[in-house]
A = this chain, B = another copy of it.
């Protein structure tokens, strides 16, 4: 659907009024370009265009300045194409500090400006409330919920009753055969995504799917726990270090017997094999445990460096300052290794908080529930995990705390780096994660998410006009049409997953353009990036500051594994891929399958 003109919307609107016995005229979302719809009692409405740089009854007419901007601004699709082509040009750009600084600044500013800060909406109200800004137990919302009184779940279009979520998942999501990610992403990336995002995606299901018990950003809670009590249980209170234990000559997290924090293990895992980590959920998979353990090692390693630099510091100062450094390293690695890989851009992203100083930029962040939903990248998960030649089925991998210890960190990271992650697309959810997809759809409905096309418009993308345009093929498009009737009625999570991928990309445009702003904002709005924090003294002087400034995923593992540096890669190296191909052996043929 193209942007409505004032006239066509009014026609559309009058139909709406007739068909719903004078219901809420805003159910048809007549206001364009971020205008806020205010229904009147007489089935008329007003659009509040304040601050949108558009005017007219439906905020459809750009101001002169905005018209000029629109003329100059390349489409997101064009920008993407530029960024994944012409490597030679980007190599030059990447070598010119002034130019790359300018581009990076623009990337952060443009992306983060799309995110409302302070946040405006929650899942409980269709209008702005003070609670949205002040009540931290809410996930925020990029778009308010569809009003309850609307004729259909998506407003005025699509079926009155949406198709059974299980049916949707079966038809669109269930993996038929394992599809590899097109960028050769490795399972190390899968677990990176999972361990990193669980720091801030913490749905508080006791309150409901619109609530969170998390800290709304990169707060180190996966390492230090969600609160001071847990943090204190995990601390050794000596030299700033966290509790740990040596097993087979390697440093691992303590068991819950030594650090009695709340962890979610099934009864089948004996107490004396339950590792204690900052996140209650990190015993679930050896990949999460590996990341948990490597950050623990890094924390204790940094403590030693600071202790050498500041022998007079007490445990508290060593701990607090190391924690700040760990947050800094996390952001640096997320931007320069993880997001860089996800983007596949030739432009080399970099972490330089100074670029935002003096800009109109809010150093505060709130996690939106839409960001949480779109980050459900379960198709990344393969069905089996091959660790140094041993194939583990998912069910044998889960809550298996013996695997990390048995294989050791080196074998884990090398194996994860060598195994292909799945492609985030339709029909690629493994059997073990199908229930998560079903729940995500259910929650999206309970939270009355607006349609995928509404979200595309919210994030400055052209809404799709047909199912074929959305999926880029015909089979899934036909399934979608049978399920949703109208392209305007496709649900949010379904949309981001089934969307056709961009050229040389892991995702469709929706995933990138909706997820990107949340991601960039969340990383750069961290307090440590603000002018009063981002200076050597905050991190124990140049020594600590440089640990952040030179951090990388490779270093994180190499500095914390004895001996030579292992293979650490978010992309399966071509040599490994080729070797695997030569073996002509897929994961099913392993002799050691468990």
- Give the interface of A toward B (CB within 8 A): 36, 38-41, 46, 48, 50-51, 116-118, 120, 125, 127-131, 133-136, 215, 219-220, 228, 310-312, 316-317, 320-321, 323-324, 327, 357-364, 527-528, 530-538, 541
Contact = CB atoms under 8 A, between A and B. Distances in A.
Task: Across the A-B interface, give the 9 residue pairs with the lowest CB-CB distance, nearest first.
Answer: A133-B527, A48-B537, A50-B535, A36-B537, A118-B527, A41-B312, A129-B320, A128-B538, A364-B364
Contacts of A538: 36, 127-128
Contacts of A359: 360
A130 B320 contact: yes
B533 A118 contact: yes
Contacts of A118: 363-364, 527, 530, 532-533
Given A51-B531, A535-B51, A130 B358 contact: no
Nearest to A118: B527
A351 to B, nearest CB: 17
B364 A362 contact: yes
Given A134-B527, A220-B130, A362-B362, A125 B316 contact: yes
Contacts of A357: 51
A534 B120 CA distance: 11
B312 A363 contact: no
Contacts of A361: 360
Q: Which of A39, A219, A528, A538 has the most chain B CB atoms inside 10 A of its CB? A: A538
A359 B361 CA distance: 9
B41 A310 contact: yes
Given A36-B538, A50-B537, A362-B364, 9 more contacts: A36-B535, A40-B310, A41-B311, A41-B312, A48-B537, A51-B535, A118-B364, A128-B532, A134-B219
Contacts of A127: 317, 320-321, 537-538
Q: Which of A39, A48, A534 has the most chain B CB atoms inside 10 A of its CB? A: A48
Work out how many copies of this chain go into the complex: 2
A532 to B, nearest CB: 5
Contact of A327 (B38, B130, B317): B130
B364 A533 contact: no
A136 B320 CA distance: 17
A130 B219 contact: yes
B39 A312 contact: yes
A391 B312 CA distance: 62
14 contacts: A38-B537, A39-B312, A40-B310, A46-B537, A48-B537, A48-B541, A50-B534, A50-B537, A118-B363, A118-B532, A120-B533, A125-B316, A128-B538, A360-B361
Contacts of A358: 360
A130 B324 contact: yes
A99 to B, nearest CB: 23
A321 B136 CA distance: 19
A530 B359 CA distance: 15
Contacts of A316: 125
Contacts of A130: 219-220, 320, 323-324, 327, 527-528
A537 B31 CA distance: 12
A55 to B, nearest CB: 13
Nearest to A36: B537
A501 to B, nearest CB: 32
A363 B128 contact: no
Contacts of A36: 535, 537-538
A360 B360 contact: yes
Nearest to A311: B41
A222 B431 CA distance: 53
Contacts of A537: 36, 38, 46, 48, 50, 127-128
B532 A120 contact: yes
A48 B320 contact: no
A568 to B, nearest CB: 27
Contacts of A129: 320, 323-324
